Amino acid sequence: MQDRALSTSLSTAPSAPTETGAAARLDALLEAAWPAGEWRDLRVAVAVSGGPDSVALLRALVQAKQSAGGRGDLIVLHLDHGIRGEASHNDAEWVRQLATGLGLESVVEAATQAGPHSEEALRDLRREFYRRAADSLGARYVATGHTADDQAETVLFRLLRGTGVRGAAGIRPMAALSPACSLVRPLLGATRGGVLAYLAAISQPYRIDATNGEDTYARNWLRNQAMPLLAERFPTAATELAGFAQRAAETSDLVESLAADLLRRAVGATPTAEGHVTLQSAVLTQSPQPLVVEALRVAWREAGWPQQAMTAGHWRQLGEMAVTAKPQPAVVFPGSIRVEQVGAEFVLAGPKDTGNGATRPTAGEGSPPVAPLAALHGRTWASIFGHVVNSCWSLFRGVLTLAAVLAVALAVFLYYRLDDEAQRLCEAALNRHCEPFVARVGAARFTPGKGVTMYDVEIVESLQWQPPRGVLQIDELQVQGQFDITTLLRGAPVVTRIVAKSPRLAVTRRENGVWNVSDLKLKSNPNQPLPRIDLHNATVLLTGEAGGTKTLGVNHLNASFVPATDGSRAFNLTIAARDTLAKSLEVRGAASADGSGFRLDYKADGIEATPALVETLAGLGLAPRMTLPPMQGVLSLSGEASRTAAAEPLSWRTAFNFAGSEGHIPGFKRPLSDIVIIGEASPTGVRFEQATARWGDSVIRLVGRREGWSLGSPLAARVRIDDLDFGDVPIERLPQKALGLWNRFRPAGRSDVAMDLAYDGQTWAPRATITAKGASFEDAEKFPYRLTGATGQILVNGGVTDDPQPPAPG
């Protein structure tokens, strides 16, 4: 019901509900609103989203049916809109399992219609699904879990958007869904608090839609922002709004009855095959214009003409024409309905293909079925007038109660409309600055004098023959400064600070070695000062596409970019993170505003280093490719990186310190342990200042350097192995010449070995001094017996020197 990815969670009501007898109260409310005797023998479909309201309705209906018996069935309906990905599918599966656990049939369908995800579009999709499912199942009713809180939000929303008495009636307890099925809302008298208490009392879990906490949709904003604000000042606001809706519904029904009576007296002829409605002007001109408009609405609906495109202005114009009764040019209204005054008659003519056989629209929200004209013959004007007075007084009393509420709501409405404009302007501004990428803004809130807060900001990369790929997502982006309406509309506000909360950056190194963000040419106004930029809890995902996809994620980053005080268009920056790729990560330095030049000092402690990490870094182009033995340990890095201009090469230096518990070298019988490697790397090569490890009972020490990073780069190294056991030597990995000597002498026992290795890119120049410690050997060419207890030294190529420094490469 969201994860921008954990969008839906499972909630369980508290084990100790705050209201005793909550279950009995909701059961009693359901029985009073919709007695089981009316539906127990029929097929009833229950719309269940998985949220608390619909789950409570389902459980209450199951309990009521079990108590009342009956031959009918309860069937669970669920439409998976799919707009929240895996979270939507999880909701659908949860509802299916809930129905199975209750022994009920379920119909779960995935929406396939593409299009806008507005509240109206999604509601229409659900209603169409309910209609099709009900017709297919033969259901007489479809029950939904709307509560008094939903009613209050609906009424307030319609009042703010603009509505009449009919719209103020809000959600009707029952409305036609199709000729054979009705929508029912049995819980309209229950509060959301009562629903939650009921679920707690019966220990029933339910689903939580994380998107309900977001203010993207207007209804969500009313629920999360406006209603709590009103409740602080007017604790009974929701109840009063629901009561107001009930009184408005009574008044609306009565006004429609009066309108139908007026229409009955004014009709000169029922709609003909040509779709004409003829009304006597003498009757219309003697009636109040609002009542005439309502009568025309009834005639319009009875004739089967479309009403959706008829605005309040259209109805007002139509009413003025009807009560004027003066000759005037014909007017064509939406739906190709031609209206004109012909003599003493007011004529409405529909399109030629509309007549008695026209399909009439299904009654929907706030549009109860129209009473037949013949049913009004027995009414008298006196009785009708009395009802009007009583209903109008009730309506007036409700309006007085809501006067203060609507005063607050007016301010809320103005902000809402202004925020819509801010969202549009922010999205347009981002697109100007982020070409060729595309920017989208879910919502925005403008605060005069302070700035704009944008929500659900997304920047995507357009790919040829592929779906767009997200590059940057920001939950909340605050743009602060001295903003006013004029500068906002002109697109030239002075920005002093930008705060991004939970940004997620996806950086991709394409197969050609170019990073996708290099195409992002951020534009700035050189005449305006640079703003401070703060990033809170950022995530960076690095992906390499060359040679197989490699991915590396860095989480929990916090960064600040503070404009330099020397007048240059540059930032002093600080980036820090803990417990992500490393135990601690810190970057400090300065960078030009366009990113062309920078100087950075960095330090990372506690990196869990593995061969897979090295391979990933190499695949991302962040480290040279090296063939390393499988080792695991903790790596610490520190160094600096700089570039003077975009066209200049990158200069960098990194000092490293690796401490590993164990490593395996192919061909070696024993693993290495207690590994320590200290050195430094740069574009010119790598230097090992200290490398030590234990190899069984032996200790290995190494120093050396390599000039360059290619496979043929020159290198030099000095190796010391104390107390080497000849039995551990991997003879199968020795060069052919050395292997021949080994097979000739077949050494055994222990010795100390010192080696100097030099390679000039073409030829190896090894030297070695082997100091025997009770070793044994033979000479297969000169004597066929074995010498034991040997001591002394064997010099290879003259042996190693006493110079503490390793030989130069080559």
DSSP string spanning 338-368? EEEEETTEEEEE--TT-STTSPPPPP-TT-P
Mean pLDDT over 408-431 rounds to 57
Token pair listed for 3: 């994860």
> What is the overall mean pLDDT for the chain?
76
Mean pLDDT over 491-505 rounds to 79
Q: With cut-offs at 50, 70 and 90, classify the pLDDT of residue 692.
A: very high
More confident residue, 320 or 809: 320
Q: Residue 421 has what pLDDT?
A: 64
Examine residue 436 and say whether the peptide bond preceding it is cis (omega within 30 degrees of 0): yes
Is residue 323 within 8 A of residue 285, CB to CB? The reply is yes
More confident residue, 273 or 202: 202
Q: Residue 143 has what pLDDT?
A: 93
Nearest CA to 151 among 212, 60, 219, 58?
Answer: 219
Token pair listed for 93: 């599966």
Mean pLDDT over 773-801 rounds to 81
Token pair listed for 421: 């404009």
In angstroms, the CA 219 to CA 712 distance is 67
Please name the residue that has the structure tokens 């029985």. 31
More confident residue, 142 or 734: 142
For CATH 3.40.50.620, list the domain ranges present in the chain: 8-219
Residues 74-94: pLDDT tens digits? 999 998 877 777 888 888 899
Burial of 401 (0-12, 13-18, 19+ CB in 10 A): middle
Asked whether residue 620 carries a pLDDT value surpassing 70, the answer given is no
Mean pLDDT over 489-494 rounds to 59
Mean pLDDT over 161-166 rounds to 72
CATH number belonging to domain 248-394: 3.30.465.60
Residues 235-272: pLDDT tens digits? 787 778 878 877 877 887 788 788 888 888 888 544 44
Cβ neighbours of residue 472 under 8 Å, at least 6 residues apart?
Answer: 457, 458, 459, 503, 504, 505, 506
Q: Is the dihedral of CA 26, 30, 36, 40 positive or negative?
A: negative
Token pair listed for 666: 């192919």
Q: Residue 78 has what pLDDT?
A: 92
Asked whether residue 678 carries a pLDDT value surpassing 90, the answer given is yes
Asked whether residue 478 carries a pLDDT value surpassing 80, the answer given is yes
Q: Percent of the chain scored above 70 by pLDDT?
A: 77
φ/ψ of 173, rounded to 5, equals -60, -30
Q: With cut-offs at 50, 70 and 90, classify the pLDDT of residue 486.
A: low
Q: With cut-offs at 50, 70 and 90, classify the pLDDT of residue 210.
A: low
State the alpha helices, DSSP H only, in 449-600: 485-490
- Angle, to 10 degrees, between the axis of helix 381-433 and the axis of helix 237-266? 120
Q: With cut-offs at 50, 70 and 90, classify the pLDDT of residue 582.
A: confident
In angstroms, the CA 277 to CA 303 distance is 8
DSSP string spanning 701-745? EEEEEEESSSTT--EEEEEEEEEEEGGG--GGGS-HHHHHHHHHH
Q: Residue 484 has what pLDDT?
A: 60
Burial track 593-629 (b if 16+ CB lie within 10 A, e otherwise): beeebbebebebeebebbeebbbbbbbbeebeeeeee
Mean pLDDT over 750-772 rounds to 86
Token pair listed for 55: 């789950």
Asked whether residue 792 carries a pLDDT value surpassing 60, the answer given is yes
Q: What is the SS3 string spanning 93-114?
A: HHHHHHHHHCCCEEEEEECCCC
Token pair listed for 464: 């040829």
Token pair listed for 300: 């319009």
In angstroms, the CA 722 to CA 48 distance is 75
Token pair listed for 490: 């002109």
Q: With cut-offs at 50, 70 and 90, classify the pLDDT of residue 390.
A: very low
Mean pLDDT over 277-306 rounds to 85
Query: What are the C-alpha distances in Å from 412 to residues 227, 478, 484?
Result: 11, 21, 18
8-219 topology per CATH: Rossmann fold (3.40.50)
Q: With cut-offs at 50, 70 and 90, classify the pLDDT of residue 95.
A: very high
Mean pLDDT over 567-595 rounds to 84
Is residue 104 within 8 A of residue 60, CB to CB? The reply is no
Is residue 398 within 8 A of residue 244, CB to CB? The reply is yes
Q: With cut-offs at 50, 70 and 90, classify the pLDDT of residue 487.
A: low
- Angle, to 10 degrees, between the axis of helix 52-68 and the axis of helix 22-33? 70
More confident residue, 741 or 422: 741
In angstroms, the CA 719 to CA 701 distance is 6
Q: What is the pTM of this model?
A: 0.45
In angstroms, the CA 590 to CA 592 distance is 7
Q: Where are the beta strands (DSSP E) in 610-697?
A: 631-643, 651-663, 672-682, 685-695
In angstroms, the CA 410 to CA 374 distance is 43
Lowest mean pLDDT among 391-400, 455-464, 565-574, 593-602: 391-400
In angstroms, the CA 799 to CA 802 distance is 10
Asked whether residue 408 carries a pLDDT value surpassing 50, the answer given is no
Is residue 130 within 8 A of residue 183, CB to CB? The reply is yes
Residues 325-358: pLDDT tens digits? 777 788 888 888 888 888 888 888 887 643 333 3
Cβ neighbours of residue 642 under 8 Å, at least 6 residues apart?
Answer: 598, 599, 600, 650, 651, 652
Is residue 439 within 8 A of residue 472, CB to CB? The reply is no
Phi-psi sector, 491: left (phi>0), alpha (psi -120 to 50), beta: left
Mean pLDDT over 410-428 rounds to 56
For CATH 3.30.465.60, list the domain ranges present in the chain: 248-394
Could you give the maximum distance between any two Cα atoms of the chain, in Å?
140
- Name the CA radius of gyration of the chain, rounded: 40
Lowest mean pLDDT among 49-63, 464-478, 549-563: 464-478
In angstroms, the CA 17 to CA 193 distance is 10
Cβ neighbours of residue 683 under 8 Å, at least 6 residues apart?
Answer: 649, 650, 651, 652
In angstroms, the CA 296 to CA 783 distance is 126
Element (H, E) at 65: helix 52-68
Q: Residue 322 has what pLDDT?
A: 86
